[in-house]
Amino acid sequence: MNRFDIRDIVTILLNSIYNTVGEDGLATGFALGSSSGTHPLGSINITLFFRRKKLLPAAIKLRELGPVHLRYLPLGHCFSLLRNFLCERYHLIACNDIFSRAETSLLERVSHSHIDLLVEEFAKSDILIPDFNTYLFPLVPIQVKSAFNGSSFTFSKNSDLPSQFRCSGYPPGFINGEQFPPFTERNWNTKSPSSWLLVEAPSPDVAKRYRSSILGATSLTVKHRYRYQFTGRKIFGGIASIGNGWTISNSSPHTPALGIDITLSEEDADWLQILDTTLTSTSKSETKKLKSLQYFYRSWFLPDSERFAIDCITIDSMFGDANGATEAVASGVDEIFEGKLDRRRVLLLMRLRNSVIHGGAPDVYDSIKYAKYYRDYGEDPINDMSALVAESLRRKIFNGKLREHSDFFAGVIERATSIGILPAQVHSGILSPLFETDIPRVDT
């Protein structure tokens, strides 16, 4: 953020602050003094009123132009950041205004030198230069054969966890990657993860967003026939953080109870590096890619009929246009697959999407287009949509470098098929024109 934008935010902030409540003032009380509490006037209590309508433009501008992680958080978070910033530094500009009951805004009562001082303070504040903590997510059905160490996230083996932290000050043996919680300071009731995802983020909410993008991408390595096959195996969640101290908290599991484990190896390094670069980018187009992965991650846990709606939203987030979503998605699919897919089939899938998204059918099975798709193509449109979305993500975000892992059971399936235990697979899914060309076979 440049100095002009910072000055604009500071000016709007000062113009929103009054000593009286007014129409929509939000009372904020604090003790006058520096955050260290060493100011000689630190025992004086102050109450200021922040006029919400006047503060709103500053909060919006901070969210749009500030650090990219602010776009993942509610606008109210920016309101709080701005209010806290001013309260912590009010002693720098208050002078003789401490007990004023003037009806004018603070902007009208401070000097240009005070505004310059706040601009300097804002430029070096933790709003624009936030402190990052390491957030640890225990994983159960993900095995890490070869660790990945990026600038924003790490996939770690259990045994490597103690060496992965970017902060110091903890005694040897304090971290144990074989257990969650991973801290040996207390006698916990522990659980055993298979691996760890470490995320660098300024807050738990942002870390969870990054986790969703990372694990959404990781799910793309699972062959389509196994991605939504879940078992009764025990999966657990939880989050630990380490930085200025350590914390633990409960959460829902970070993956569904997959029937087969995902194994990350050196072969995954290329797409993991692309994802790491995308996470650190401030580009809106890159942020859009991360949001698509977050939608896909959300759908991973859902049963078929519920997953269809989120898959529709995912493909909209990649290709959609508010002025013509159906045609925009079809055109986007044409472009990314170089016209190799059946456009009529894609359009029918998008019209089924319209029925579900726009209220024509509360459940995908209720739509007449669901049966029509089956009649016309002999395939389940839910499976086709999932396969189409997954391959679109691989191509659009990872340029084809993220590929499905090989099928561990391929030999077993082939033998079972040859003696009639399993039916022969007829690959007529929406991606079938690609089977003999440029992607591994996707079984729907």
Q: Is the pLDDT of residue 238 over 90?
A: yes
Report CA-CA distances (Å) from 12 to 9, 51, 86, 87, 132.
5, 11, 12, 15, 28
Q: Residue 411's pLDDT is what? A: 74
Q: Is the pLDDT of residue 41 over 60?
A: no
% of the chain beyond a pLDDT of 90:
60
DSSP lists the bridge partners of residue 196 as 138, 156
Q: Name the DSSP class of 434.
A: G
CA gap 399, 172 in Å, rounded: 42
Q: Is the pLDDT of residue 98 over 80?
A: no
Identify the three-state secondary structure at position 379: coil
CA gap 341, 334 in Å, rounded: 7
Q: Sorting pLDDT into bands at 50, 70 and 90, what band is 128?
A: very high
pTM score of the predicted model = 0.86
Considering only CA atoms, give the Rg of the chain.
27
Q: Is the pLDDT of residue 260 over 80?
A: yes
CA gap 439, 442 in Å, rounded: 8
pLDDT in tens, 142-164: 999 999 999 999 999 998 998 87
What dihedral do alpha carbons 377, 383, 387, 388 form, nearest 10°? Answer: 60
What dihedral do alpha carbons 276, 278, 279, 282 form, nearest 10°? Answer: 140
Task: Count Cβ atoms below 10 Å from residue 226 Cβ, excluding itself.
Answer: 18
**Positive or negative: CA dihedral 284, 285, 288, 290:** negative
Q: Name the DSSP class of 183.
A: B
Tokens read off for 83: 């209010």
Q: Is the pLDDT of residue 96 over 90?
A: no
Q: Sorting pLDDT into bands at 50, 70 and 90, what band is 178?
A: very high
Bridge-based pairing state of the strands 237-243 and 133-139? antiparallel
Domain ranges of the chain: 3-123, 133-282, 302-434
pLDDT in tens, 347-402: 999 889 888 887 777 788 888 999 999 999 988 999 999 999 999 999 999 998 99
Report CA-CA distances (Å) from 190 to 211, 237, 256.
22, 12, 20
CA gap 155, 148 in Å, rounded: 5
Q: Residue 166's pLDDT is what? A: 55
pLDDT in tens, 327-344: 888 899 999 999 999 999
CA gap 357, 308 in Å, rounded: 10
CA gap 70, 431 in Å, rounded: 38
Q: Sorting pLDDT into bands at 50, 70 and 90, what band is 441?
A: very low
Tokens read off for 420: 């009639």
Mean pLDDT of the 316-326 span: 76
pLDDT in tens, 361-373: 778 888 899 999 9
Q: Residue 440's pLDDT is what? A: 46
Q: Sorting pLDDT into bands at 50, 70 and 90, what band is 326?
A: confident
**CA nearest neighbour of 442 among 294, 222, 141:** 222
Q: Residue 100's pLDDT is what? A: 67
Q: Is the pLDDT of residue 167 over 90?
A: no
> What length is written for the chain?
444
Bridge-based pairing state of the strands 45-51 and 195-201? unpaired
**CA nearest neighbour of 366 among 429, 303, 305, 314:** 305
Mean pLDDT of the 97-103 span: 70
Tokens read off for 23: 């129409």
Report CA-CA distances (Å) from 66 to 6, 69, 72, 417.
9, 8, 12, 57
Q: Residue 413's pLDDT is what? A: 72
Tokens read off for 239: 């989050």
